[in-house]
Amino acid sequence: MPENNLKSGNTKTRIIKRKFNGVVMSDKMDKTRVVRVDSVRIYPKYGKRYKVSKKFKVHDEKNQFKIGDKARFVECRPISKDKRWRMEYPRIN
């Protein structure tokens, strides 16, 4: 009978966090930035490519990012109703 490793406590589960790159669209809120992420999708029937964008509210603890900056952000615990993302430092040039 195989032994269960969960009882021993030696195994650690690793959480895979989603990462995105985007452009800061708004910096009007305190410690929050609105970041637009563009992606390309393919229409299933015709194979035509089209661009889709989505906006995320991202936590910026240092208020470092300004409009037009490229930003990288990762998934985190819920910080507020809409914020489930936080910025990664240092900034992307």
Cα separation, 93 vs 67, whole angstroms: 13
pTM, full prediction: 0.80
What ranges do the domains of the chain cover? Answer: 19-87
Select from 23, 26, 31 the least CA-distant residue to 63. 31
Please give the CATH topology (third level) of the domain spanning 19-87. OB fold (Dihydrolipoamide Acetyltransferase, E2P) (2.40.50)
Q: How many residues are recorded in the chain?
A: 93
For the stretch 23-39, pLDDT in tens is 999 999 999 999 999 99
Select from 90, 37, 83 the least CA-distant residue to 62. 90
Select from 34, 39, 41 the least CA-distant residue to 73. 34
For the stretch 36-82, pLDDT in tens is 999 999 999 999 999 999 999 999 999 999 999 999 999 999 999 99
The SS3 call for residue 68 is coil
